[in-house]
Amino acid sequence: MRIRASLAAATMSGAVALTAFGVSAAQADDASSPAAAVRSHMLGKAKTQGKMSARSVYDIQVTKVTVNAGKDVVVGGTQKKKFNVYVTATNPDGIYGVAAFLWHGDDLYSDGGVDGAIVSENEGLSRDCQRWSATTATCKVVLTADPKTDLYKSSLNGKWNVYAAATEDSENGLEWATYQNHWVKRAARITSFNAAPEPVAKGKPVTVTGNLSMISWSHKKYYGYGSQKVKLQFKKAGASSYSTIKTVTSSASGALKATVNATGDGTYRFSYPGNSIASTATSSADHVDVR
């Protein structure tokens, strides 16, 4: 398994978090371990080791976490995807900074339990905070999903776990155990879209074609996505929105084809709603004159 090497031995403002979780220096240097990457982004020393609840002796509480403005994280095959995580936390002595990352697997605390990590390219705590009061702050963490390293296999699509933590000084923080999930999906797209003939006589058939495909993170290529329900939508000339007029199923190769009778001038498009592994996708639009 591949992971960004620069993250494997990262520290949190000089506080080496790895020892709190029983990770040796040799393990920390293992750039092939996603577990090492996520552990290097955890807060705390030995006195904060183990799974801590939201009710910490430090009285720090993470009250809200928003990932990518609540939208799915959609990643293609070559371009890095950057997105924000906002962490709101409270503490009687104030908030110094936060850490956040996404991880994939079964157990954050075992070497074999983590098989994927999406972390910040900037090592250390994020102190990009809006301080609402002496006790409460909302801080931004910028995460980067790199399909060339982090998303090295297609089976990593789906629900990921969210880790967020806050600290009252440069070393000690509350670990906020996984309490929510977020969708990380493979990019889908609709290409080769066309509506014909143009122009067309009223009442005569219009044939609309296209192709639905989805990225393979394993091979970094788009492949036809079959057996998917895709909506054919139409926007009448002068209208402000589309209406679904037909639903078709993509072929094994991802091919889309629908035939409808022309009722008037307007614009056609295909729209795919996505699913638990694939993003939504909308084709380009094609205007057809009816005479």
Res 168: pLDDT: 86
Mean pLDDT for back-to-back runs of 10 residues, the chain (291 residues)? 31 28 34 62 45 53 93 94 95 91 87 88 88 96 93 95 87 66 97 96 97 97 98 96 98 98 97 98 97 92
pLDDT at position 190, please? 98
- Give the predicted TM-score (pTM) of the model: 0.81
Class of domain 188-288: mainly beta
Pair of tokens at residue 11? 């520290």
Classify domain 5-185 at the CATH class level: mainly beta
Question: Is the separation of the CB atoms in 43 and 172 below 8 Å?
Answer: yes
pLDDT value of position 220 = 94
Residue spans per domain, the chain = 5-185, 188-288
